[in-house]
Amino acid sequence: MSDSIHLCRTYDARGGAGTLGARLLVDRLWPRGIAKADLPLDVWLKDVAPSSDLRKWFGHDPAKWAEFSGRYLDELKGRPGAVEQALKWCRKGPVTLLYSARNTRYTHAVLLRDVLQQAMSAQGSEA
């Protein structure tokens, strides 16, 4: 299961490089400097991204990571339909979550991957 949800920066994924399976853009904003034609993707899931207010508050500051994580997970709990949309893609096969943050450790995509993996594992154990 852990091999079915991958992460890739949008800037590394141009032309489809570095991605496996379906490509899901999970940012609220389109990545700067990339033309839509240069970023192949299957779907843009804006609603699984942090709210604009939370994103601006966090500013990718590692010192705010713990609080950001809790706030973002709370936002996801309030958007079950958005999470379900992402899960539908995960159930079909491997996916790559595309995100634009420079820091590959302190990004919402890491948390989203964990949420999706936990949901997939829970569904697998119910079957």
pLDDT one-digit tens code per residue, 101-112? 999 999 999 999
Give the model confidence (pLDDT) of 26-60 as tens digits: 999 999 999 999 899 999 999 999 999 999 999 99
Q: State residue 13's pLDDT score.
A: 82
- Between these two residues, 125 and 19, which has the higher pLDDT value? 19
Average pLDDT over residues 78-92: 96
In the predicted model, is pLDDT for residue 20 greater than 90?
A: no
Q: State residue 1's pLDDT score.
A: 44
In the predicted model, is pLDDT for residue 89 greater than 50?
A: yes
Domain residue spans in the chain? 5-126
Q: State residue 126's pLDDT score.
A: 59
Long-range contacts of 12-20 (CB under 8 A, 24+ apart): 13/39, 13/96, 13/98, 14/38, 14/39, 15/40, 16/40, 18/96, 19/96, 19/98, 20/94, 20/95, 20/96
